[in-house]
Amino acid sequence: MKSEKVRNLTDVELRHQEHDLADQLFKLKFQLNMGQTESLKKIRGLRKDIARVKTIMRQQELGSRKTEKK
């Protein structure tokens, strides 16, 4: 997922996207522990996507705080 795409999402969509990615990551980790899959590359990608979404959420939060102080 590209950061440009994530930046265009609303707060609600970002939270929903984060929840969906976390669910996918949980399922993949569970499959990995059960020996059903070996998709480490996909797990790494999901972790990066979650971090990207959280970073953009935090940037938007800090940006809104700056506008409230002025």
54 versus 3: which is more confidently predicted? 54
- Give per-residue pLDDT as tens, 12-55: 999 999 999 999 999 999 999 998 878 899 999 999 999 999 99
Per domain, the residue ranges of the chain are 3-69
Q: Quick one: CATH architecture of 3-69?
A: Orthogonal Bundle (1.10)
Q: For residue 54, which of 42, 46, 43 has the smallest C-alpha distance?
A: 46
Q: Give the CA angle between residues 6, 30, 52 to the nearest 5°.
A: 15
Please name the residue that has the structure tokens 């669910």.
23
For the cut 80, the answer to whether the pLDDT of residue 5 exceeds it is yes
Q: Evaluate the CA torsion angle 54, 57, 62, 65 in order and state its sign.
A: negative
For the cut 80, the answer to whether the pLDDT of residue 62 exceeds it is yes
